[in-house]
Amino acid sequence: MNKIAVIVLSCLMSVGTLAADLPSFPFVVANGTAEKKIKPDMATIHLSILAFDKESDQALKTVNDTTTKVTDILTKSGVGKDKIEATDINKTTTRKRDAEFNGLEILGYEVSRSMTIKLDNLSQYSDIMGNIIATNNVSGVRADFDVSNRKAVEADLIAMAGADAKEKANAMANGLGTKVQSVYAISQVSAFGDFVADFGAGSMKTMAFRTAEGAGNYETIMFAPETITVEQTINVMFRIK
């Protein structure tokens, strides 16, 4: 079989496969969306603890001491230890490099770990975040906001998105002189990707001011968002008459 015949046969097979996947009856596909702005009632804080020192033991001690300081901040604010997770400690060696990037003598050791904190009470958020950000050797601080009744909100939004898709399908069908008969297939385009909002030390939601007691004293004020946008999008295939 020559190359032209193979190409023609492949094209015919692709067309046949595509046709087999499509319904044999007339149909219309509509995209439905729905969103709400709601007040969050929970947050997940993510942070990293990082230390570098010529001595491995000192770098490890710094990470352990910082972990204790962060944990103390949380427990004093009433956050249970079951809401605090810390990863295993990672350690890497930093070496001087020559022009060919060959490793030479050791310059020091980098030790790090990550922590995740779950807050069920956002009234604690401002004080906790302000104190954590002010702690030495803490970096990469950010927070994801959510709501505790997420499943109920998701169900409501899917129903609203479905109604939106049906309205759009009816409009298209009416424009072509036909009518929507029934739903044939539904697919969820996206999950809760827009459900959470990230706010970290670099966010516009972060503010700092200096107190009157002295130029060297300041307090970092962190704000949780007033609302977060909850969104759902679905695709619906309707059978038409």
* pLDDT above 70 as % of the chain: 75
Which fold does the domain 42-146 belong to in CATH? Alpha-Beta Plaits (3.30.70)
Measured distance CA(66)–CA(168) in Å, rounded: 56
The answer to whether 67 touches 84, Cβ cutoff 8 Å, is no
Q: The dihedral of CA 77, 80, 81, 82: what is its sign?
A: negative
Confidence at residue 198, expressed as pLDDT on a 0 to 100 scale: 36
Q: What is the pTM of this model?
A: 0.68
Give CATH 3.30.110.170 domain extents, the chain.
24-38+149-195+224-241
Residue type, 90: N
In CATH, the architecture of 24-38+149-195+224-241 is 2-Layer Sandwich (3.30)
Q: What is the pLDDT of residues 62-113, one digit of tens each?
A: 999 999 999 999 999 999 999 999 999 999 998 887 776 666 788 999 999 9
Measured distance CA(223)–CA(207) in Å, rounded: 8
Query: Any residues with CB less than 8 A from the CB of 123 and at least 6 apart, and which?
Result: none
Rg of the chain in Å (alpha carbons)? 28
Helix ranges (H only) for 96-203 are 125-133, 150-175
Q: What count of Cα atoms within 13 Å lies in the side-chain half-sphere of residue 178? A: 14
Q: What are phi and psi of 115, to 5 degrees?
A: -130, 145
Q: Which residue ranges of the chain lie beneath pLDDT 70?
A: 1-21, 100-103, 189-221
Confidence at residue 24, expressed as pLDDT on a 0 to 100 scale: 84
Give CATH 3.30.70.2970 domain extents, the chain.
42-146
Confidence at residue 23, expressed as pLDDT on a 0 to 100 scale: 79
